[in-house]
Amino acid sequence: MSTRSASAGDAIEPIAAGSDGGAAALQQLAGRHATGYRSVGVMVYDILRDAILGGALVPGQKLRQETLAELIGVSRLPVRSALIQLEADGLVEFHDRRGAVVKSLSPAQAKEVYDIRTLLEIEALRLSMSEMTPERVERLRELGQIADEQQEGADFVDARTAFYAELYDAERHPVLWEMIEQLRLKVGRYVLGWRLVGGAEHGHSHEKLIEAVAAGEVEPAVTVLREHLERVRDAVLELLDAEATAAEAGAVSARRSGRR
Amino acid sequence: MSTRSASAGDAIEPIAAGSDGGAAALQQLAGRHATGYRSVGVMVYDILRDAILGGALVPGQKLRQETLAELIGVSRLPVRSALIQLEADGLVEFHDRRGAVVKSLSPAQAKEVYDIRTLLEIEALRLSMSEMTPERVERLRELGQIADEQQEGADFVDARTAFYAELYDAERHPVLWEMIEQLRLKVGRYVLGWRLVGGAEHGHSHEKLIEAVAAGEVEPAVTVLREHLERVRDAVLELLDAEATAAEAGAVSARRSGRR
DNA sequence: ATCTCGGATACTGGATCCAAAATGCAACCG
DNA sequence: CGGTTGCATTTTGGATCCAGTATCCGAGAT
């Protein structure tokens, strides 16, 4: 039940989050998700996804199917299903016969993600504003309010998602919305980290955006959105650099203290 | 060959091509892919992907795991893996306890796909052209030549993919390239159908595009690309309309002939 | 003493087996 | 005669079991 046998495999672990590799956090996540799921596979998917996004499983960490299965309390099979889905989402990576690891994002890739998001989200905003209604503006205000109140990981993500789904009119543009969601997922883990550091004055741009949208002023709204994305992008890139240096330092200290 | 004859004969027929639902074509595909795969799961994925793109499995068709497993000659487990991956690609759709069906694209969604592709591919072209080299132009000419020679289903897709990967500098922009690939996959099945109907004068725009790229004329190249995508989009939308009406007629005839 | 080769161990990937849920048919009741 | 409910069949989804392969450690040879 515990992770005693896991110590053998920890040697390769490049970035050590904790000594347990996030096992405790993973079990807590499993507990939160335990209630009333239709299929175990998607439950495991949600758990692992939240674990990666929440930082319990860090980039580069190897994911042993049996360990994960035991921690969550299911068989290895739904774990495999979940890992396959996560691979398609770009969150984990399979090495041929050596299992799966949490995929890490290079700074260049992160920049790409935000540049594409800028392109797509501005397009989505333009399309959405061309068919804006007072009802949607009202709903947008509510959702923005809710989003700003949430502080915690999973709820925060959900609230923000709901807000942007309404802003971009996800109903009417499902493919575009799906693309945007995919990109947001790829950087989700880093955005959460950023939120914890310096996302306080964040709500202000939300408000400016909503007001521009409500007034029907397309170009100002686009500008606010673009600047917001650029600000987040720069923050994420900064955080990535910090992590890279930290990983370097961690590798050095691990080499010193670790097995020869 | 096998895929071509299958799609040529039954391309218009939307549901249940014959009574076997593309079983024969699927078995032949399985034979082609049978040699030397590292993992059975990805083999099944490739087979099913080619089957859907080639038209052997038509939109709306239900995919029974056991049937597919028997046809390909493997167990149900790798079939499940493949179906999960295909779901992530947006090619199939899971209904809760009722199995998977081949996803169909509504005309509105197809239009979305092409609008987003226009956005992304023009961006990719601009980025790529800002760092174009004579070597890449040369390679582009070769790949364009190869692509125009291929007529058959799978090779045709591969050749085109290689060409665009070089054109958009996929190496240097992996995320952007992945997005474009995803979108191309979603409409792949319809593009193949279109290719068979009226894609003859298609190579000409390729040449114009290459020449503009070689000359470093960005805006002309962008225009050629945009017009090309719009032309393909319109053709696909036309084909989708034709399929929709054919489906209607097919449903009527099936009702007349009496199902059981 | 170090490098290489061979065996043992452990992990992933696949197959078979089992249970749970949904659908369709049939029978019974209103 | 029609509707509703219950049972049986079908099919997905999960667990356990098995085999192939890669990694790691130790022993032997140079």
Q: Does B130 share its domain with B86?
A: no
**Inter-residue contact B163 to B143 (CB < 8 Å):** yes
* Domain presence at residue A221: yes
Q: Does B28 share its domain with B148?
A: no
Q: State residue B13's pLDDT score.
A: 33
Q: What is the mean pLDDT of residues A155-183?
A: 94
Q: Does B112 share its domain with B232?
A: yes
Which residues of chain A (32-61) touch nucleic strand D at CB < 7 A? 39-41
CA of B80 to C1' of D14 (A): 13
Q: State residue A193's pLDDT score.
A: 61
Site from A76, A84, A168, A178 to mutate, B interface, most B CB atoms within 10 angstroms: A84
Q: Does A89 share its domain with A65?
A: yes
Q: State residue B205's pLDDT score.
A: 73
Residue A10 pLDDT more than 90?
no
Q: What is the mean pLDDT of residues B47-68?
A: 91
Domain count for chain A: 2
Q: Which residues pair with A93 in a beta bridge?
A: A101
Buried b (16+ CB within 10 A) or exposed e, A145-184: eebbeeeebbebbebbebbbebbbbbeebebbbbbbbbbb
Please judge whether A175 and B116 are an interchain contact, meaning their C-beta atoms are less than 8 angstroms apart: yes
> Which residue of A38, A84, A113 is in closest CB contact with B175?
A113
| A52's tokens | 């990666």
Please judge whether B112 and A186 are an interchain contact, meaning their C-beta atoms are less than 8 angstroms apart: no
> Which residue of A109, A176, A178 is in closest CB contact with B175?
A109
Which chain A residues are closer than 8 Å to B116 by Cβ?
120, 123, 175-176, 179
- Average pLDDT, whole number, for chain A? 82
Residue B206 pLDDT more than 60?
yes
Residue A244 pLDDT more than 80?
no
Q: State residue A115's pLDDT score.
A: 97
Last residue of a domain, one of A86, A104, A122: A104
CATH code: domain of residue B91: 1.10.10.10
Task: For B86-107, give the secondary structure using H, E and C.
Answer: HHHHCCEEEECCCEEEECCCCH
Q: State residue B30's pLDDT score.
A: 66
Q: Cα(A138)–Cα(B7) distance, rounded to whole angstroms?
A: 50
Domain interval for residue A86: 22-104
Last residue of a domain, one of B104, B139, B169: B104
The pLDDT tens digits for B18-34 are 446 667 666 666 666 76
pTM of this prediction exceeds 0.75: yes
* Domain presence at residue A8: no
* Domain presence at residue B15: no
Site from B112, B121, B128, B236 to mutate, A interface, most A CB atoms within 10 angstroms: B112
- A64: number of Cβ within 10 Å: 19
CATH code: domain of residue B176: 1.20.120.530
Interface A-B, measured as beta-carbon pairs within 8 A, has a size of 60
Last residue of a domain, one of B104, B125, B143: B104
The whole-angstrom distance between A116's CA and the closest CA on chain B is: 7
The whole-angstrom distance between A59's CA and the closest CA on chain B is: 17
Residue B68 pLDDT more than 80?
yes
Q: Does A42 share its domain with A169?
A: no
Please judge whether A186 and B175 are an interchain contact, meaning their C-beta atoms are less than 8 angstroms apart: yes
A198 pLDDT band, cuts 50/70/90, is low
- A53: number of Cβ within 10 Å: 20
* Domain presence at residue B16: no
Instruction: Supply the DSSP string of A24-55, one letter for each residue.
Output: HHHHHHHHHT-S--S-HHHHHHHHHHHHHHHT
The pLDDT tens digits for A30-89 are 666 766 677 899 999 999 998 998 888 999 999 999 999 999 999 999 999 999 999 999
Q: Does A34 share its domain with A65?
A: yes
Q: Cα(B123)–Cα(B119) distance, rounded to whole angstroms?
A: 6
Q: Cα(B220)–Cα(B186) distance, rounded to whole angstroms?
A: 28
Burial class of residue B24 in the structure, from the number of CB atoms within 10 Å of its CB (0-12 exposed, 13-18 middle, 19+ buried): middle
A4 pLDDT band, cuts 50/70/90, is very low
